[in-house]
Structure 1
Amino acid sequence: MSEWIYFIHSPREHFAETMTAEEQRVWGEHAALLERRLADGSLILAGPTLGAVNTGICVFTAADEEAARRYMAEDPTISSGIARGELRPFVAAFVRGAR
């Protein structure tokens, strides 16, 4: 298994403060998916950046790039078309308490 990160690029500035009801519903589905992924052990960490630009990050493990792309594509924020996903290989080189 290798580590990957995907970024969730929201559609506009101040997105968290201006979400429509539909966007809130999709983000609720996103949160439920992240809870399941945390429970199954594939999710390492996830969360939003704060401020005017709300970019989400999701660090996870996957067998290969194809599996990582599927993992990202299954996220409702991306599959809905509301947000744009950006996938990159990742290495958690420095982790507090891991040494």
Structure 2
Amino acid sequence: MSEWIYFIHPPRENFVETITEEEAGIMQVHAGHLAELHQQGVLILAGPTFGRINTGIAVIEADDEDAATTIMSSDPAITSGLMTGELRPMRVAFLRGRD
């Protein structure tokens, strides 16, 4: 298993402040999807960034880049067309509670 980070880029600046009802519904489905990945042990951490640009991040474990791409591509925020994804390999070097 290797670790990957994917960035979830919003459609506009100040997304959190200007989210529509329809977009909020998509984001609820997205949150449920991430919760499932967490329960399955795939998701290490996830959350939004705040400020003018509200990029989301998700750190996942996957066997290889194809598997990581499949995980990212199944995110409802991305499959809906609301957000775009960007995948990068990474290494979790320090994580509280992890030896």
Question: Which consecutive segments of 4 or more residues in structure 1 shift more than 3 A?
Answer: none
Q: Give 3-state SS (helix, strand or coil) of 2:66's partner.
A: helix
The equivalent residue for 1:51 is 51
CA displacement at 1:96 relative to structure 2: 2.3
Gaps of 5+ in 2: none
- Identity in percent: 56
Partner of 1:35: helix, strand, or coil?
A: helix
Unmatched tracts of structure 1, length 5 or more: none
What is the distance in 2 between the residues matched to 1:18 and 1:38? Answer: 28
What SS does the aligned partner of 1:53 have?
A: coil
Structure 1 Cα separation of the partners of residues 61 and 75 of structure 2: 15
**TM-score normalized by the length of structure 2:** 0.96
In the TM superposition, residue 63 of structure 1 has moved relative to its aligned partner by: 0.8
The 3-state SS of whatever aligns with 2:36 is helix
Q: Secondary structure at the match of 1:68?
A: helix
Task: State the alpha-carbon separation in 2 of the partners of residues 85 and 18 from structure 1.
Answer: 20
Q: How far apart, in 1, do the equivalents of 2:61 and 2:95 lie?
A: 15
- Please provide the CA RMSD for this pair: 0.8
Q: Secondary structure at the match of 2:44?
A: strand
- Cα separation, 2, equivalents of 1:96 and 1:40: 20
What is the SS of the residue equivalent to 1:4? strand
Residues 13-44 of structure 1 show CA distances to partners (whole Å, capped at 9, x for unaligned) of 11011111111111000000011111111000
- How many residue pairs get matched? 99
